[in-house]
Amino acid sequence: MAEHTMVAALNSALRDALAADPRTLVFGEDVGALGGVFRVTEGLQAEFGRERVFDTPIAEAGIAGICVGLAMAGWRPIAEMQFEGFSYPALDQVISHLAKYRERTRGRVGMPAVIRIPSFGGIRGKEHHGESPETYYAHTAGLKVVVPSTPLDAYRLLRRSIEDPDPVIFLEPKGRYWSREDGDLSVEGPGLGRARVVREGGACVLIAYGAMVGRCLEAATALAEEGIEAAVLDLRSLVPLDVGAIRDAVRSTGRAVVVHEAPLTLGMGAEIVARIVEEAFDHLEAPVARVTGPDVPYPPASLELRYLPSIERIANAVRTVVAY
Amino acid sequence: MNETASTDAPIVRLVAPDGTAVGDVEVGLSRDERRKLLRLMIRARRLDRECWALQRQGELTVYPPFEGQEAAQVGSAFALGPDDFVFPSFRELAAALVRGVDVVEYLQYHRGTWHGGPYDPIASRFAPICVPVATQIVHAVGWAMGATFDGSTACSLAYFGDGSSSEGDFHEGANLAAVFRAPAILFCQNNGWAISVPSNEQFVAPIAARAAGYGMRGARVDGNDVLAVYAVTRDAVERARAGEGPTLIEAVTYRIGSHSTADDATRYRDEAEVAAWGERDPIYRYRTHLLDAGTIDDAFVRGCDEEAEAWVAEIRAELTSLGEPPVAEMFDHAFADPPPTLLRQREELLGDG
Amino acid sequence: MAARVFTLPDLGEGLDEAIVSAWLVGEGDTVSLNQPFVEIETAKASVEVPAPFAGRVARLHVAAGQRLAVGAPLATFEVEAAVETTPVTATPAVRKLARDLGVDLSMVSGSGPGGRVTREDVEALPRTANEPDHVRRVTAAAEVPVSLTRRAIADRLTRVAAIPQVTTFRTVDCIALEALRADLDVSALPVFVRALAQVCGDHPMLNARWDGERILLFHDVRVGIATDTERGLVVPVLADAGSHGIAEIAAEIARLADAARSNALTPGDTDATIAVTNTGSYGSEFGTPLLNPGHAVTIALGVIAPRPLVIDDAIEARPACTLSLTFDHRVLDGATVGRAFGALVELLESRERLDALRR
């Protein structure tokens, strides 16, 4: 047993993937010699050489676009966008091509590419360094979207995403990069499309992903002291979405609260509430609550804590839902 | 108004518009290959006109004609080897023809039965039709990088228009190609118009002049001179295979027709300009040259015409008998490993498992 | 127009029922909001209730003098449609529960916030509220108000039904009894009562009471005589029946009956130890009389009428009746009762022994 930070776990995942599959490539801005601005790719270029791990010019559309050509030439590209706030120039290549190529070619040419994007808030970052872009990708048919919440799961999910034959947008919660977890790094366990109950509880289920999973666990601990036992469900991937796990959790509790950093309107919460209504309507004892960021651009560092769902906001939502 | 002579950039031309040789026409092609070039151009034009008619008859939804650009496409595509890979935009039917792409499959794009055309891109070495202009340039560069990682000497060729040169992806693709010394040929058909915007409103300096800015080789060629186009492209291919990196080629040509069957160029273009470019027609020019050189005779030309006629009739027959694609295909190719939620939608829409 | 049902509100301090003393309006009347419309009597006070709606009185659900529970329908009003009835609110889970149980949510009053019907509201419903529609739609032809007396009787008998009681029957050859009573010019009842009291002397377990932890035996045979009055069944007591002759008992029975009918019984006239009911007076041959609480035995005297009896191996028409004796099985068993019952019948069939009880 060893202790791993999420950065170290992701680094190991990339290392192990590069070693296991000689067709994998890792590239992006500052990923080579520097090892990435968060050190996620540290040591990889030295180990695997410049042909497997290389830096690119600052050209996000180009980085995403060469994934298409490389995939057509039989490679498995693992590209990095340095921050979610800088990933948008690549959206055309991602939406118009990475997501569509398999369908366009009637299944002949797949895009087994992974685009890793340090995302979400909680690091008191500058503008464009704390946003939540997941719904742009989740709403683009043809893409898979994965969000780990812990170091061990980050290893597992990144390895599985790299092995996945479809294009995966891998959103890493940078606010949790330095979180630690004891255990062995392993690909064994649930893969993409499977949520995980990280806390059992009968009163209500908290549904979250990324950094908000940990925050929900903290809220659940506080609520337990009041006699409210809340379950916590880590979605792990947004596409495919584990609708069965959401359904089962709501059927057994009758009450749900969805938590995400992204702004309220048309966030993942909206999709989850719709699925709950479709799958577990007759079990609802209360309306589903959403605890999210407000519908404003991501704020500066000094306001970040007021923007992000806090333990108290989450706990209050559970209390309200339980008392309905 | 597109002026070819009014710039400082030298333009490669081997055969003048009237068919006389003005340069070294010995470009390394055999006699058969020279004749083949003409046959291909004649076929291409015949097909292009048939497609226009098919659209007007409701057999195709929208069709972008390439008349006037036969030499630019045929000459360049002819210079590629069997392992090289073409990344077209949406007007490269002539290039597709040269590369052996199944024409009926290609035209299914324009019939609205499948995006990109259902031909096998990998087998055809011809990527699907690409509509977001300039995005295919980056694909071509990525493919070329991948080829070098495999130690292959194959190269890629991206076709794009003068309008695409304004897009960010042109710049990113060109820069990436240069930085990575990718064996990619960036082939711009400057046909004078981006829908209704003339090229003198699209950019200021000649496109080929940008090559120096990226640190790559550039060439400007008379796009209506098939031998010149072939030679310039051949040169770029050989450099790419030799590991000398990318080349930016600007083939100056003219879009005789409208942007597409949905456009009417008479609303924004001067008929005198069109007529002037008609005087520089690529097929007339090359046919005259070959006749003068004794490489072909009138019977050959007639044979090409008849053969093209028959061939096009076959295509028409096959194309017009195509049915609708099965609805299930909409669901079956989105993912290699589809999410269960999608499979449920498939069941619901199709009414069965 | 919309129907609005007004239910009996809680008129104060947790009272759960009241009596409608008087209606101040009639069905079909139009009332204005707050117009006095009914007088309600609770255990604590008499209250005048103002009309909760303006509109037409469509139905009065309770007759004057009737008792009803808080929350039960009092009257239905027809009001202007502008007065919107609030739709029933309930969560999806509760709606499904109601569907599964066949409960019409509009019939359930909601205890949740804003009148929301909760799961507990649905689960607490008595099953009668869940009767299918066709049963609820049957309307009664008439309604008989229940007097306090009848209600008290009903309550008592419901309690009595819990006692383990068995009825046993004997037929009595009444030739001797008929001769005696004709002689004394009395009815059969006083003869029977005196005979019973006599038997209780020898069989004291008949004159007993189950006390939960013990059985109480009484010397004084206090016979409760079931008497029918306008108000219902009344059971005045004939005390010390073993000490009086048949003629005196006959006089006393008459006196008690008069007092009962004119509602002039004194407290001393209550508290029997054993009960007798003359069911023969309305033609009943035999029955299963219910015990009065506190009695170990009650006997019903059936009608005396000619019957074919076997006398000395031959069938003869004799005046006869059946006695129906119900006993508390906690106090008595069949054998004990059998011996006592047999003794009673023997006594009633013996002219000689009945004669000894004349005075």
Task: Assign a CATH topology to domain C89-145.
Answer: Dihydrolipoamide Transferase (4.10.320)
- Which chain C residues are Cβ-neighbours of A282 within 8 angstroms? 92-93, 95-96
Q: A245 vs chain C: nearest CA distance in angstroms?
A: 19
Write out residues 146-165 of A within 8 Å (CB-CB) of B.
164-165
The chain B residue lying nearest A62, using CA atoms, is B172
Q: Which of A69, A97, A106 sits opposite B118 (nearest CB)?
A: A106
B172/A62 CB distance under 8 A: yes
Please give the structure tokens belonging to residue B179: 């930085």
> Could you tell me the fold of the domain covering B31-322?
Rossmann fold (3.40.50)
Query: What is the residue-level pLDDT of chain C in tens, covering all 359 positions?
Result: 677 888 888 766 677 888 999 999 999 999 998 899 899 888 767 788 888 888 999 999 999 999 988 888 889 888 876 555 667 889 999 999 999 988 888 888 889 888 899 999 998 886 554 455 545 555 677 778 777 667 777 877 888 888 899 999 999 999 999 999 899 999 999 999 999 999 999 999 999 988 877 888 888 899 999 888 776 778 888 988 999 999 999 999 999 888 888 877 765 556 789 999 999 988 999 999 999 878 899 999 999 999 999 999 999 999 999 999 999 999 999 999 999 999 999 999 999 999 999 87
What ranges do the domains of chain C cover?
1-85, 89-145, 164-355
pLDDT, tens digit, 9 for 90 and up, residues C198-236: 999 999 999 998 887 788 888 889 999 988 877 677 888
Dmax over CA atoms of chain B, in Å, equals 68
Which residues from A are below 8 Å from C117, CB to CB?
Answer: none
Burial of C230 (0-12, 13-18, 19+ CB in 10 A): exposed
Torsion on CA atoms B207, B212, B218, B223, rounded to nearest 10: 20
Contacts of C225 (CB under 8 A, 6+ apart): C189, C193, C235, C236, C237, C238, C253, C256, C257, C275, C276, C277, C278
For chains C and B, having 3+ Cβ pairs within 8 Å is answered no
pLDDT, position A162: 98
CATH architecture under which domain C164-355 falls:
2-Layer Sandwich (3.30)
Predicted-complex ipTM score? 0.92
Q: A246-273, pLDDT tens digit by residue? A: 999 999 999 999 999 999 999 999 999 9
Question: If you average pLDDT over residues B150-174, what whole number do you get?
Answer: 98
Is 3.40.50.150 the CATH number for C1-85?
A: no
| Beta carbons within 8 Å of A270's beta carbon, 6+ residues apart | A290
> Inter-chain contact B172–A59, Cβ cutoff 8 Å?
yes
Q: Residue with structure tokens 């509100």?
A: C9
Q: CB distance B146–A103 less than 8 Å?
A: no
User: pLDDT tens digits, residue range A188-233?
Assistant: 999 999 999 999 999 999 999 999 999 999 999 999 999 999 999 9
A238 → chain B, closest CA residue: B339
Q: Which of A87, A65, A57, A63 is nearest to B134 (CA)?
A: A65
Please, which residues have CB within 8 angstroms of residue C142's CB and are 6 or more apart in sequence?
Answer: none
Say whether C93 and A324 touch across the interface (CB within 8 A).
no
Write down the pLDDT at residue C227: 83
Q: Spell out which residues of chain C touch residue A283, defining contact as CB-CB under 8 Å.
A: 92-93
Put simply, whether A227 touches B (Cβ < 8 Å) is no
B251-B254-B260-B261 Cα dihedral, nearest 10 degrees? -150
Spell out the residues 6+ positions from residue C229 whose beta carbon is closer than 8 angstroms to its own: C260, C261, C263
Cβ atoms of C10 and C30 closer than 8 Å: no
For B110-141, what is each residue's pLDDT tens digit? 999 889 878 999 999 999 999 999 999 999 99
Q: Is C61 a catalytic residue?
A: no
- ∠ CA C185-C188-C189, nearest 5°, is 115
For CA atoms B98, B103, B106, B110, the dihedral sign is positive
Q: What is the pTM of this model?
A: 0.70
* Domains of chain B by residue range: 31-322, 326-353
Residue of B128, B173, B332 lying closest to A65 (CB–CB) = B173
* Partner C contacted by A279 (CB < 8 A): no
Q: How far is CA A67 from CA A18, A248, B139, C178, in A?
A: 16, 38, 7, 121
B255 is catalytic: yes
**A97 → closest Cβ in B114, B135, B179:** B135
Token output for B101: 């792409």
User: Looking at chain C, which subunits does it touch, using at least 3 CB pairs closer than 8 Å as the criterion?
Assistant: A
**What per-residue confidence (pLDDT) applies to B6?**
40
Where do the domains of chain A lie, and which CATH numbers do they carry? 2-183 (3.40.50.970), 196-323 (3.40.50.920)
Compute φ and ψ for A118, nearest 5 degrees.
Answer: -60, 125
Query: Residue B2's pLDDT band (boundaries 50, 70, 90)?
Result: very low
Q: For the segment C67-93, what is each residue's pLDDT rounded down to a tens digit? A: 988 888 889 888 876 555 667 889 999
Asked whether C74 and C38 are in contact (CB, 8 A), the reply is yes
